[in-house]
């Protein structure tokens, strides 16, 4: 029993290193997409202390809007621009109709408001786009759909070109976000509001403007993630379930750490794929990817409640 659980999987990794690389690649792609979704949560929480439960459905809504506009005969890249416009309008409406009246309310009230936004977008999306699965317009957007074949260690490694594109675009988006937050006036204002909201407001930073901006950036992240996940699994409301995999990423990385979201996403993606292939399928019958991330996050929280990269909070009595 000990050999089957602990020794045999590592022996399999050594015996078939090309297959191990394939598993690691699949985990890397998933991890980067998890990290992207988590970044939407982190950005909004850092600037407003609101845990945005609606980030998952925003991924679905953005992807459905893109596909729905294209089904109406709109050219693909015009669809992207129009979808960005829809996400901006959504950010403005959320700030003015939902968040602005709740300024100063307890955090739980704002959290419940984001649950309300989630339910509204689910119903609104189903009325407009229907509930059936749709195909992402990858070819129309110029996203390659072929495969790249490599032969490491005398074996075969298959890299889907759409996954390579997703990794490159996600990396560029993360770099752009870091540059924006660290080197632009509005980015510094977002960070200032998250660090000390009272001090930020006292120097004239508009909380309403910042909220619209961060929700719009979260919408951009949702669109990129929706395109990437939609290219892999189709576009439907089932994507919302995948998006919630960002929750254990946040538990690992901490709610306020951008680096934590990135590293946590990569950890979840890689470890859940390795566990599924080498331990889950042979010993547990598979399907461990649905719960592995949450169990891992729970174990981490038992020893470090603020997450691996979150700041430890010390309250003096």
Stretch among 17-31, 83-97, 101-115 having the lowest mean pLDDT: 101-115
Q: How far apart are CA 159 and CA 2, in angstroms?
A: 34
What average pLDDT does the segment 266-280 reach?
89
Give the chain's mean pLDDT: 84
Res 91 pLDDT > 90: yes
Q: Does domain 2-303 have CATH number 1.10.8?
A: no
The pLDDT value recorded for residue 38 is: 87
What average pLDDT does the segment 163-170 reach?
89
Position 258 confidence tier, pLDDT thresholds 50, 70, 90: confident
The pLDDT value recorded for residue 93 is: 93
Position 182 confidence tier, pLDDT thresholds 50, 70, 90: confident
Q: How far apart are CA 109 and CA 53, in angstroms?
A: 12
Tens of pLDDT along 225-246? Answer: 889 888 887 888 877 777 778 8
Res 277 pLDDT > 60: yes
Position 104 confidence tier, pLDDT thresholds 50, 70, 90: confident
193 in Cβ contact with 47 (< 8 Å): yes
Res 27 pLDDT > 80: yes
Q: What is the DSSP string of 146-193?
A: -EEEE-GGGS-EEEEHHHHHHHHHHHHHHHHHHHHHHHSHHHHHHHHH
Res 162 pLDDT > 60: yes
Helix (H) or strand (E) holding 27: helix 17-48
What average pLDDT does the segment 123-145 reach?
85
Position 281 confidence tier, pLDDT thresholds 50, 70, 90: confident
Position 4 confidence tier, pLDDT thresholds 50, 70, 90: low
Domain ranges of the chain: 2-303
The pLDDT value recorded for residue 310 is: 62
Better-scored residue on pLDDT, 205 or 231? 231
Position 311 confidence tier, pLDDT thresholds 50, 70, 90: low
The pLDDT value recorded for residue 92 is: 94
């Amino acid at each position: 029993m000990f050999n089957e659980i602990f020794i045999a999987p590592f022996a399999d990794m050594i015996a078939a290193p090309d297959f191990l690389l394939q598993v690691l690649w699949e985990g890397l792609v998933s991890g980067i997409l998890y990290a992207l979704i988590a970044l939407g949560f982190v950005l909004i929480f850092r600037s407003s202390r609101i845990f945005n439960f609606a980030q998952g459905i925003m991924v679905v809504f953005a992807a459905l809007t893109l596909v729905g506009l294209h089904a109406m005969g709109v050219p693909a890249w015009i669809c992207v621009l129009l979808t960005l416009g829809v996400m901006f309008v959504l950010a403005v409406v959320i700030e003015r109709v939902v968040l602005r009246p709740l300024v100063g309310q307890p955090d739980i009230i704002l959290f419940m408001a984001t649950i309300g936004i989630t339910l509204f977008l689910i119903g609104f999306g189903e009325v407009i786009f229907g509930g059936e699965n749709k195909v992402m317009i990858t070819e129309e957007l110029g996203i390659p759909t072929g495969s790249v074949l490599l032969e490491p260690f005398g074996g075969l490694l298959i890299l889907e070109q759409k996954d390579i594109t997703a990794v490159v675009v996600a990396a560029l988006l993360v770099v752009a976000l870091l540059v924006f937050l660290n080197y632009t006036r509005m980015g510094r204002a977002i960070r200032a509001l998250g660090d000390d909201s009272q001090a930020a407001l006292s120097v004239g930073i508009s909380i309403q403007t910042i909220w619209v901006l961060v929700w719009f950036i979260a919408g951009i992240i949702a669109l990129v993630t929706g395109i990437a996940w939609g290219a892999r699994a189709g576009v439907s409301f089932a994507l919302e379930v995948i998006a919630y995999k960002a929750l254990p990423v946040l538990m690992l990385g901490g709610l306020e750490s951008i680096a934590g979201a990135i590293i946590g996403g990569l950890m979840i993606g890689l470890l859940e794929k390795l566990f599924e292939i080498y331990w889950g399928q042979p010993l547990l019958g598979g399907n461990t990817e649905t719960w592995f991330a949450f169990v891992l996050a729970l174990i981490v929280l038992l020893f470090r409640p603020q997450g691996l990269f979150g700041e430890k909070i010390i309250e003096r009595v």
